[in-house]
Structure 1
Amino acid sequence: MKSKFKTLSCNDDDVLSYNGSLVKFSQFKQQLENELWQKVNYLLTKENNGCNSKERIYELINTSFGYCNISVSLSSPEEGNDCEILRLGATSWQKGKIRTATSIDFFPNEKDSTKIAKIEFNLEFLSEEHQVKQPKLSFDDMMYAA
């Protein structure tokens, strides 16, 4: 299926029907962030020496050569996932696919020696009417095409 996903712009109070649940857009972004932090925590739980995940990451950033930037990403499949969006003021749901890419970057702020965790969301939507579907061939069409 060829597609042209576009950047998803929603108000925080717009509603998404996704994975069998209804959530406000703001809650959807929070769920993505929480899942990303869970993955980071999972990566760093072994032999944590009493430090939480953020502290361990900041320990990893400092090296004898300088600073190391660390990035963790969480992405949906390339083809996206089915969802529906109900926008404020709309009269009906908009069906389509959503594609997500969330990342968290850890890096030191060299100016004042603080440590920064920056989270970015890249959310894209492909409405059902813009999806290009492959024509379905019947059995007879396949037989005569050969």
Structure 2
Amino acid sequence: MKTKFKPLSCNDGDVLSYKGRLLKFSQFKQQLENELWQKVNYLLTKENDGCHSRERICDLINTSFSSCNISVSLSSSEEGNDCEILRLGANNWQKGKIRNQSSIDFLPNDQGSSKVAKIQFNLEFLPEENEVQQHQLSFDDMMYAA
């Protein structure tokens, strides 16, 4: 059976329990961005320790013939990682799996624009089976069950 991950919709103030840490969603996204930059810095400074990575990126994307685009991706496993989410206003944690596909795209510097990097996050969530069933109960079902 194929898993049904859905796009993750969280507010920046929602809390995630992920890999033994509690993080606000905004901190989680910042952590992903930092990890992407660490990978880029590692790739670009592996052989040239004295160069600033952003300068090297500009040298790489602006060639004498034209421009090129460079993309660095960071992906979790296909089955995702265990996670719990506490949404603002919710009474309970929602258990499930989270997976991500994040990337930094380095674009040519158009007419003096200082923006060289475009960062994208594609975060998906798969609630545990019992969590899905609980959310499918109607208000009437809950009233008659009590």
Q: TM-score range by the shorter chain?
A: 0.7 to 0.9
1:129 is displaced (CA, Å) by 2.2
Q: How does 1:1-146 map to 2 (within 5 A)?
A: 2-48=2-48, 50-112=50-112, 114-129=114-129
Instruction: Give the whole-Å Cα distance in 1 for the aligned partners of 2:45 and 2:54.
Output: 11
Structure with the larger strand share: 1
State TM-score, norm by structure 1: 0.83
Q: Aligned Cα RMSD in Å? A: 1.9
In the aligned structure 2, how far is the partner of 1:123 from the partner of 1:106?
21
Structure 2-normalised TM-score? 0.83
Identity of aligned residues (%): 78
Q: Match of 1:78, SS?
A: coil
Contact 2:104–2:119 at 8 Å: present in 1 too? yes
Q: Which moved more, 1:25-34 or 1:41-50?
A: 41-50
Higher relative contact order (CA 8 A, sep 6+): 1
Q: Which moved more, 1:74-83 or 1:111-120?
A: 111-120
8 Å Cα contact 2:95-2:127 kept in structure 1? yes
More helix by share: 2
Specify every segment of 5 or more residues in structure 2 that has no aligned partner in the other structure, as ranges.
Answer: 132-146
| Inter-partner Cα distance in structure 2 for 1:55 and 1:117 | 12
Aligned length in residues: 132
Offset at residue 114 of structure 1 (A): 4.1
Shift of residue 116, structure 1, vs aligned partner: 1.5
For structure 1, the 5+ residue unaligned runs are 132-146
1:28-47 Cα offsets, whole Å, 9 max, x none, are 00000000000001111133
After TM superposition, what 4+ stretches of structure 1 lie above 2 angstroms from structure 2? 46-51, 109-115
| 39-48 or 28-37, larger mean C-alpha shift | 39-48
Counterpart residue identity of residue 74, structure 2: L
Q: What is the rounded CA distance, in whole Å, between the counterparts of 1:34 and 1:124 in structure 2?
A: 19
